[in-house]
Structure 1
Amino acid sequence: MKKWLAVFGSACAVFLAAGFAFTNLIMFMKKKTDEDIMKKETADGHDRFDSFQAMEKEEAVILSRHGYEIKGFYVAPHHTANTMIICHGVTVNSFNSLKYMDLFLNLGWNVLVYDHRGHGKSGGRTSYGYFEKDDLEEAVNWVRHKTGDGGQIGIHGESMGAVTALLYAGGHQDENGADFYIADCPFASFRDQLAYRLKREFRLPPWPLLPLADFFLRMREGYRIRDVSPLSVISRIQQPVLFIHSKEDDYIPSACSELLHRRKRGPKMLYLAESGGHAMSYTKNPESYRKAVQTFLDTMTQT
């Protein structure tokens, strides 16, 4: 009996250690340095850093309800209240958003770029969209206070930023939310994404790691894996959404955006880029990407 109890205790200890370690991987994913981001963006043809340093801009310091500061910049060269808020992906920061900033500036929109919690100069720790959606709400409020009620607010998100935008949209169906959303390569649910990566990277099944990680995330961070699910809120989003995804994305498959597009009610568009890996649709397909965004924006001004 003692032998079986010892075996059972050892097995429990192994499972708990594995769950704790896997949760650490989720909570403390290594972030890219500014130098790493600038080097990659420049190699991809997005050398915007010197011009960004030189351009006129306002530093944005936004207080999160979770007790830290969100740092960013508001760039407003146009005489309009129309503003795009750009949400970056995990491990990078607002430097990664500058290519999209240029895209929307050239289309006549002012832009707010900022570092998500746990990235760049902002405080907090990443939650893959769960707490980030609250910070996005504060960013929207900041823009409304800055510009008044006359203009439109759009949100462009890439990867985790797209998840953040959709989670925020699902909880804001009144006039205080944004007017439309562009979701570039989001996952449909955090649980399915983690299961997919476990299988591809480690050849491991989701059980028992995901239930254990879910338990530890709830205890340590205050949210659960199932709470980070655009699919669970997509049917509530009434505002227009443009879904973007590369057909070649093997990190978050394009089937995620296709599923979200099917489930979305009301105004929507889907643009599937022909080439490019994860979060590379604009880099590899700049002209068709711009055309899709312009077509979507044109429908916004006609409604």
Structure 2
Amino acid sequence: MKKLLKPLLAIIVLFVIIVVGGSFYMLSYSLLPSHNKGRNEAYMWKLMKHRCPGDSLWLDSLRASHALRDTFVIAADGDRHHAVYLWPNNRKKFNHKVAVLVHGYTDDYISMLPIAHIYYKMGYGIMLPDLHGNGRSDGQEQQMGWKDCKDVRQWIAVATDIFGCEKAEGKRMVPNIVVHGVSMGAATVMCLSGDPLPYNVRCFVEDCGYTSAWDEFSLQLKERFALPDFPLMYSTSALCRLRYGWSFGQASPIRQVAKCQRPMLLIHGDHDTFVPTAMVYELYKAKPAPKCLWVATDARHARSYDKHPGEYARCVSSFVNKYMH
């Protein structure tokens, strides 16, 4: 019996070491990616001009005219977060409507400028935050939308203050707000949508968001490493809770969207394999009315606008025009 016990203990210890080491690696791989392209603004400007040639001249004009204005806030954890905002071309005819646009995983505000162009043409004010750990915002780790939604709530308050206008009788005109996100930004929007929000947040647009961080990481674990959920998903999620205060299961857009009573447009590409197209149907089913779904043909992950800029713009404008008044 003693002869069997020592090898058994050695196997158990080795298993624990492998799981713990694997958990640290997987957490770093998932939330602390070695290449964060959103930290390189020069690269992001070139990338978006290449991906969205129809918006290239407008992007150049923004830089030439210095139209994008920087603003910063201090988050609850003490980190300094960055955003840019953009007034419509004719401020005197500002329609008191604002779009808060939320970028994806390892992107920055620049990645949302082509979509901002849609709202700019409609006369909206634009707020474009850099999420925690991205762009010019402090922080290291990606938050997968869960803690990001609290930061976006703060940016909604900032947008309300910046774009709020004084009326003749001394009262402020509170702008109506749509919150629109892509990929991890879409997950952020959905996580936000299930919480109590100011009355002036009228509607949401989510583009290719995932059902939960657990579902997305589980998929990547299988596809990239050919590994099952047990034990690494469980141990890495527990480590995430210890280090960052949230678990993969807790970061659940589908659970939040089920509580959302405000209008939401859900967009997804039918060739999306990174966040499988099937997820949008689960999200749409979970979301109470009012809601609308558009599945873009031949579009890969986060490429629905790139593939169909005109149809994307028409779909978004038609949806928000119903509720932004």
In structure 1, what is the equivalent of residue 195 of structure 2?
A: 171
* Cα distance between partner residues in 1 of 2:313 and 2:162: 27
- Unpaired segments ≥5 residues, structure 2: 165-172
**1:151 is matched with which residue: 149, 155, 175?**
175
* Cα distance between partner residues in 1 of 2:61 and 2:301: 26
Q: Which whole-Å deviations, capped at 9, do the CAs of 1:25-69 have from their partners, x for residues lacking one? A: 122113113233233222212435432212324322122112112
Q: Which whole-Å deviations, capped at 9, do the CAs of 1:228-276 have from their partners, x for residues lacking one? A: 1111111210110000001011110121112111111121110110122
What is the Cα deviation at residue 173 of structure 1?
A: 4.8
What is the Cα deviation at residue 4 of structure 1?
A: 1.7
Moved more, 37-46 or 264-273: 37-46
**Do the aligned partners of 2:125 and 2:163 also contact (CA within 8 Å) in 1?**
no
In structure 2, what is the equivalent of residue 59 of structure 1?
A: 70
1:202-241 equivalences in 2 (<5 Å): 202-241=225-264
**2:22 is matched with which residue: 10, 18, 21?**
18
What is the Cα-based RMSD across aligned positions, in Å? 1.6
What SS does the aligned partner of 1:228 have? coil
What is the Cα deviation at residue 289 of structure 1?
A: 0.7
* Cα distance between partner residues in 2 of 1:263 and 1:219: 30
Q: Does 1:108 align with 2:131?
A: no
Q: Does 1:92 align with 2:107?
A: yes
**1:129 is matched with which residue: 124, 131, 145?**
145
Identity over aligned pairs, percent: 24
The one-letter code matched in structure 1 to 2:194 is G
What is the Cα deviation at residue 20 of structure 1?
A: 1.3
* Cα distance between partner residues in 2 of 1:145 and 1:35: 30
Q: Higher Cα Rg: structure 1 or 2?
A: 2
The one-letter code matched in structure 2 to 1:113 is L
**Do the aligned partners of 1:242 and 1:268 also contact (CA within 8 Å) in 2?**
yes
* Cα distance between partner residues in 2 of 1:107 and 1:174: 23
What is the Cα deviation at residue 100 of structure 1?
A: 1.0
Moved more, 198-207 or 36-45: 36-45
- Unpaired segments ≥5 residues, structure 1: none
The one-letter code matched in structure 2 to 1:123 is D
What is the Cα deviation at residue 15 of structure 1?
A: 1.1
What is the Cα deviation at residue 301 of structure 1?
A: 4.3
TM-score, normalisation: structure 1 = 0.94
What SS does the aligned partner of 1:153 have? strand
* Cα distance between partner residues in 1 of 2:308 and 2:262: 26
What is the Cα deviation at residue 172 of structure 1?
A: 2.0
In structure 2, what is the equivalent of residue 75 of structure 1?
A: 86
What SS does the aligned partner of 1:261 have? helix
How many pairs does the alignment contain?
A: 301
Q: Does 1:50 align with 2:74?
A: no
Moved more, 3-12 or 280-289: 3-12
* Cα distance between partner residues in 2 of 1:241 and 1:200: 30
* Cα distance between partner residues in 2 of 1:263 and 1:7: 44
What SS does the aligned partner of 1:179 have? strand
